[in-house]
Amino acid sequence: MGLKACTSEFILGDDRMKILITGANGQLGRELQKQYRDIEVELILTDVKELDITDVTAVNEFVSKNKPNVIINCAAHTQVDKCEEQIDLAYKINAIGPKNLAAAGFAVGAEIVQVSTDYVFNGEGNAHLTEFDNANPQTVYGTTKLHGENLVKEFNPKHYIVRTAWLYGDGNNFVKTMINLSKNNSEITVVKDQIGSPTSTVDLAKVIIKLVDEKNYGLFHCTCKGECSWYDFAKEIFRLKNIDVTVKPCKTEEFPRPAKRPKYSVLRNYMLELTTGDITREWQESLKEYIENLDI
């Protein structure tokens, strides 16, 4: 089923504010739609059926016709293990797609938001990673996302590149996976030697909207505050849901996967701190709100 654009008017002088959201059926795309309902804008919503971002002709024609003021690219190939096999597809979606959107946006004077990832780092250190640290991806997914960042920078100076991690919202995610597993298992084994920051789409969407509103261009990290392991994350999920299940810790090596996982990829929202202000919450607070509203 195709998406229907949610339209309302927001007058800027004689112009109507138009925001194109690609990947609008994803977790972040859905949350952006929800939050923009309280702000009078015209949303142009697309997913792959409405707009294939890897098709340069289709992108140029669509953007030229609709003339958005802002493009928020939530479309991505995020299945990190499949990216190791589907290398060409990963490059098309994660690098060429953002390039197409950035260039088409530049032609009509549109800004672009490109959502990126902690996988652009090697995940081998033990210090919080800022926007000023050197990227060194170890996977096809991380490599293609970093190329996407660089191509957006190259083709559109009015860009917001926002790196996030461990995202959950309205869609398939770790929180729902854990809860569903607990329905048929009294014991669940979860990795304890990978550290990151669980991040709610609510917090991420608020930051993106704020950046666009303030025209604060550049590269930003945006995760909820604090850090934990996947094991700690699972334990907190079950505590908040009052689910009685045994969680056993394990090492990454016990569950080998095609794509290397970062051992430590805690992002510090340093550019937010230095500029517009970091409005994200502690990860436990955001998770509590999410679970309270979760109907599973």
- Active site annotation includes 141: yes
With beta carbons less than 8 A apart as the criterion, state whether 123 and 138 touch: yes
Structure tokens that stand for 294 in this block? 């979760």
Q: Which of 91, 119, 141, 160 is catalytic?
A: 141
CB-CB neighbours of 259 under 10 Å: 17
Structure tokens that stand for 115 in this block? 């959502």
With beta carbons less than 8 A apart as the criterion, state whether 103 and 156 touch: yes
CA distances from 269 to 20, 73, 197 (A): 25, 20, 11
Task: Note the helical H segments in the chain.
Answer: 27-36, 56-66, 80-85, 87-91, 97-108, 140-155, 174-182, 201-214, 230-240, 270-274, 283-292
* Residues with a known catalytic role: 141
